A and B are shown apart, each in its own frame.
Chain A
Amino acid sequence: DIQLTQSPSFLSASVGDRVTITCRASQGISSYLAWYQQKPGKAPKLLIYAASTLQSGVPSRFSGSGSGTEFTLTISSLQPEDFATYYCQQLNSYPLFGGGTKVEIK
């Protein structure tokens, strides 16, 4: 079974920082990966699909890259509304999510 490992689990950053979150798959999944943002008490929100395609309406400071087994989500300049937990999801076989990365205010 494919496993997804996100790192780091927690990240402390300041407004304006460039933030990178990594998602590693235990076996190659081509570009079949999505990223979600979840704020406390809210449902996850789709940010990126197919590893690098920005969902409509998502700010351009978010970007995704990678293929095979290593993927990254980058926030180019962290904004106050970006403090949240981020999840990756593999799009092969049955849906599987990474463990999440909580981005906290430094």
Chain B
Amino acid sequence: QVQLQESGPGLVKPSQTLSLTCTVSGGSISSGSYYWSWIRQPAGKGLEWIGRIYTSGSTNYNPSLKSRVTISVDTSKNQFSLKLSSVTAADTAVYYCARELSRGNWFDPWGQGTLVTVSS
């Protein structure tokens, strides 16, 4: 079955850009009617959707983060990526990637998550 795995630096300095990659295995990122999404969760808090990409390259972002977020896809590597610029301590969180059904918008499966800490 499809599995997702996040990767990237666990520590980012304030004002810099957070960069994460999600690698999809067990299936092609281009197959089926799916979006590929990023979601984050600060420690002890709830879930916040960051944005999504379709394999055509079309994107949607959370309005509260839109000015700082870029999501891209590399179908040749079966990967999609997140860039979040001008980070602050408030961006410290576990970041998850997930597959989102395009005709339903629920998330399944999820990656295991990766903790990103913003600190100097």
A-to-B contact residues, CB < 8 Å? 32, 34, 36, 42-46, 49-50, 55, 87, 89, 91-92, 94-100
Please classify the interface of chain A as helix (H, G, I), strand (E, B), loop, or mixed, using the class held by over half of its residues.
loop
Given contacts A46-B107, A91-B106, A100-B46, 10 further A-B contacts (CB under 8 A): A34-B106, A34-B107, A43-B112, A44-B107, A46-B106, A49-B106, A89-B47, A94-B49, A95-B100, A100-B47
Assess the A99–B106 pair: CB atoms within 8 A.
no
Check B79 for interface membership: any CB of A closer than 8 A.
Answer: no
Contacts of B70-120 to chain A: CB distance below 8 A: 96, 98, 100, 104-113
Report whether B47 and A97 are in contact in the complex, using a CB–CB cutoff of 8 Å: yes
- Chain B contact surface mostly: strand
Given A43-B96, A43-B112, A43-B113, is A97 in contact with B48 using a C-beta cutoff of 8 Å?
yes
B60: Cβ under 8 A from any A Cβ: yes
Q: How many A-B residue pairs have CB under 8 A?
A: 53
Interface presence of B16 (CB below 8 A): no
| A44–B105 touching, CB < 8 Å | no
- Which chain A residue has the least Cβ–Cβ distance from B63? A94
Q: A43-B96, A44-B47, A99-B46 are in contact. Are A94 and B108 (CB under 8 A)?
A: no
Of the A-B pairs whose beta carbons lie under 8 Å apart in the complex, a sample of 10, sorted by A's number, is: A49-B104, A55-B108, A87-B46, A89-B47, A89-B106, A91-B104, A94-B60, A95-B37, A97-B48, A97-B49
